[in-house]
Amino acid sequence: MRIALTLLLVFAVLMPLAAQPPLLHATRGIHAGVYDSSGNYVLLRGVNYNVLGEYWQGVPDAPTTKEYSDKDLEMMAQYGFNSVRLLFTWSRLEPQRGHYDTAYIARVCHAIETAARLNMYVLVDMHQDAWGMYIATPDTGMCREPAKGWDGAPRWATITNGQPTCTQGGRESAPAVVRAFRNFWDDTDSLQEACIAAWCKMVAATSRYNNVVGYDLLNEPGLGDHSLIRGNRQHGRYCRNLVRAIRQTETAAANPHHIIFFEPTVTKGGKEIPSIPQTTFRPERNIIFAPHHYFESITGKLNMLQGFQILRIGAFLYHTDLYIGEWGFFGGVQDTAKIKRYARYEDKWMLGSAWWQWCQACGDPHSVGWNGHQWQAGNSSMHLIELDRTGKFTGNVNTSFLHILDRPRPLSVCGRPRKGFMSNPATGTLQLQGHTHKAGNITIWVPQRFNAPQVTGKNVSLTQTTTVPGGYKLSVAVKGKYKLHMQPKN
């Protein structure tokens, strides 16, 4: 299998690319956003997909991820997602220092090519939680709160200086996790240089794809136990060095530059103290601030609206667009009202986002719990699709959530709307208004659970309705100041 996947990667490099969605780029300043080559604003709505990640396994008979399947991406497209945040882990990419798994890179490339066939964009995300899978309490009797392992760094890059793994209130709180992050930011044993080199291997293989929307530098990084000022300076320096290396790799391969997505840190010293990197990114315009929004979900420190406001302030400080790399609610059907409220806010501000997550295996550390004696996992797990204990898709889907997430929306817009838009997931209606200095088109997604829609308004004209798997795509001509109202036909 490894030889076959390696050959697949070689052939992928040598063979010409199939048809792909147009390359996207970001702008900063007053018109910050994501645009295609024709100048249309593109709204990315997607979902996180973690099946290529490597996780700690605390329950032997419960796999940590579902196996990758092209059918997952096909289902995502049928529910109107035009993008996927594709997770990869450093531990799988570089299991031994300086030795990169080309078969693993080939699997990432295959997923990207499948997404291109489905007209979907891919955000390539170097994922980690609590540093990595190798910080787990080896003898659970040592701690009142033993630590799960998680995902991210390889064993050789996990330097904890013998600090204890017992958690002290939260997955990031173990002293071993704090020390591992401190050693990374201090660049102990040239860990940053190694991580940047690993990133460049992934970029060299994937930057040839137009449907790679960009690179998420590091998921939910934590600061060590230095001062906040020093920690933010170290984080900012790493971001600048990594962006420079990514650009050099793209240029050396004669490939286009892709959007850089960067996140705030989420903890300091193991405590929930978020902060943004101390860097201006002055030379870089193709960049987006991409924090996560779990207000009224995982954290109750701010309400949902306050959370949006503070994240929008962060984007304003960097003069970039705002993209929510993760958001989600995990209380079951009773969270439907919260999801609808969240949806109204992100439509109002025309924000791109990726739901966490498509599927979660019973053995995923997020699913595993401690009963005081041993780690345990359930017999099934429902996110957007349901998995059984063995990690297989049961055939059940979460329609309560999906029928909000798949609501009608513009995919690309000529002239970014000044007031966002309003979409009703129950009735299928959509209202949008904006202004463009040149005549152009809006592309709109509509799920098939509604009848073929009709469009009315000012300076708008429906030119084409195309039936696609899962729904319809509308092409609407617009000019000047326009108002659009769309509703399903009776």
pLDDT tens, 166-225? 998 888 999 999 999 999 999 999 999 999 999 999 999 999 999 999 999 999 999 999
What the block records as the tokens of 177 is: 């996790």
pLDDT tens, 418-434? 779 999 999 999 999 99
Identify residue 130 by its one-letter amino acid code: A
Q: What would the mean pLDDT of 339-346 be, rounded to a whole number?
A: 98
Where do the structural domains in the chain lie, given as residue ranges?
2-406, 421-488
What the block records as the tokens of 312 is: 């929008």
**Nearest residue to 354 via CA among 112, 16, 97, 86:** 86
Identify the H or E element spanning 98.
Answer: none
- Residue, of 16 and 467, whose pLDDT is higher: 467
**Nearest residue to 232 via CA among 217, 242, 241, 222:** 222
CA gap 432, 111 in Å, rounded: 33
pTM (two decimals): 0.95
- Write the CA distances from 485 to 299, 332, 456, integer angstroms: 37, 32, 5
Q: Is the pLDDT confidence value at 376 over 80?
A: yes
**Would you state the CATH architecture of domain 2-406?**
Alpha-Beta Barrel (3.20)
| DSSP letter assigned to residue 134 | T
pLDDT tens, 225-275? 999 999 999 999 999 999 999 999 999 999 999 999 999 999 999 999 999
> Side-chain half-sphere of 420: how many Cα atoms within 13 Å?
12
pLDDT tens, 20-77? 899 999 999 999 999 999 999 999 999 999 999 999 999 999 999 999 999 999 999 9
> Side-chain half-sphere of 111: how many Cα atoms within 13 Å?
26
